[in-house]
Amino acid sequence: MMNRRVRDVHAHLLRPPAVRVIGVEWMARKGSYTHLPCYPVGKQPAGTAYETRAGMAPTNSAGNVVGLVAPADGRYRYTIGGNVSPGGQSGGADTVHMLWLDVAVLPAVDFNTASVGSNAFTTGALSSWTTYSNCGTFTVEVPMRAGNFISCVARTPDLNGIGWADARFHTTSCFQELRWIGDIP
């Protein structure tokens, strides 16, 4: 009983569930939902990725991470960050380069973009738009149960689509992160 109440609690607090994955270069298509894929932990060419509990970053059939799994009940902070660019960037200013993010928590791993899009509990955008890029982070806090899957899909009205983790910009600034921040009250 003491192990469960003391040792196990301290072990959990010392190394809480957390995962961070780095973006794979990808073109988000105009007008449709698309996942923003990331490399599995340890497969990224650059940047810092980690997973404190095995199984938090499942891969789809293409070998990419498109959502993260909560290994324990609790409140979690989910952050997606990046520097995205218009797909057909020219030397001049671009007139449209918006990226909307829909975030959903599903009861189990589901790589279907329609499942995420139709079950989204929030919609947002990266925090800063400039003439040539859309950059920053979008963060939500959400209660999750063990085994829940949180995923994000992007949609854009941009005529040429949006480049995620585009090599012309900061590839390693595109990431997804999920961190346990406390118990569910």
Q: Who contacts 31 (Cβ-Cβ below 8 Å, separation ≥6)?
A: 155, 156, 157
Nearest one of 62, 80, 66, 2 to 37, comparing CA atoms: 66
- Residue-level pLDDT at 97: 61
Q: Which contiguous run of DSSP H or E holds residue 20?
A: strand 18-22
Rounded average pLDDT over 64-88: 89
Q: What is the tens place of the pLDDT at every residue in 12-69?
A: 677 789 999 999 988 777 777 889 899 999 999 888 899 999 999 999 999 999 999 9
1 CB burial (10 A radius; 0-12, 13-18, 19+): exposed
- pLDDT of residue 88 exceeding 60: no
Q: Residue 151 and residue 81: Cα distance in Å, rounded? A: 13
Q: How do residues 113-154 score in pLDDT, each as one tens digit?
A: 999 989 999 998 888 777 667 788 999 999 999 999 999 998
Q: Please name the amino acid found at residue 146.
A: A
Is 86 a residue whose pLDDT tops 90?
A: no
Question: How large is the average pLDDT for residues 69-79?
Answer: 96
pTM of the full structure:
0.87
Report which of 117, 99, 103, 113 is spatially closest to residue 162, judged by C-alpha positions: 99
